[in-house]
Amino acid sequence: MRYYGKVGYCTTVETRPGVWVEDQIVERPYYGDVLRFSRRYQGADKVNDDLEISNQISILADPYAYDHFSEIRYVIWMGVKWKVPTVEVEYPRLKLTVGGVYTENDES
């Protein structure tokens, strides 16, 4: 399955001299392939279970992606922002392992 979508990078910026607290999100578009396509419900002590996917997306990386792969926070796929807990560097690609739904206040 082919992939085309945006990848979100999160960098911490200096809000005033010596204070680095504000996160800045940069989204960049990429082409690639969906290598693994699966989902599961994570049971919890809540009314509704959490949906987690265990997909792996391989993107054709540009120089920006290689320089900032440690700042990748999410990938937009099927209209939803998904967390990216793991990135594997395999030149000329990056393999992104996709997890749960990303929310703007996620610290991961």
Question: How far is residue 75 from each of residues 5, 36, 47, 54, 105, measured CA to CA in Å?
Answer: 7, 15, 27, 13, 15
pLDDT at 52: 72
- 65-93: per-residue pLDDT in tens? 999 999 999 999 999 999 999 999 999 99
Positive or negative, the Cα torsion across 64, 67, 91, 5? negative
> Looking at the predicted structure, is the pLDDT value of residue 6 above 60?
yes
Task: Indicate the pLDDT class of residue 26, thresholds 50, 70 and 90.
Answer: very high
Domain extents for the chain?
2-97
The helix/strand/coil state of 50 is: strand
- 46-71: per-residue pLDDT in tens? 666 566 778 899 999 999 999 999 99
* Closest C-alpha among 99, 106, 30 to residue 68: 30
HSE on the CB side for 81, CA within 13 Å?
13
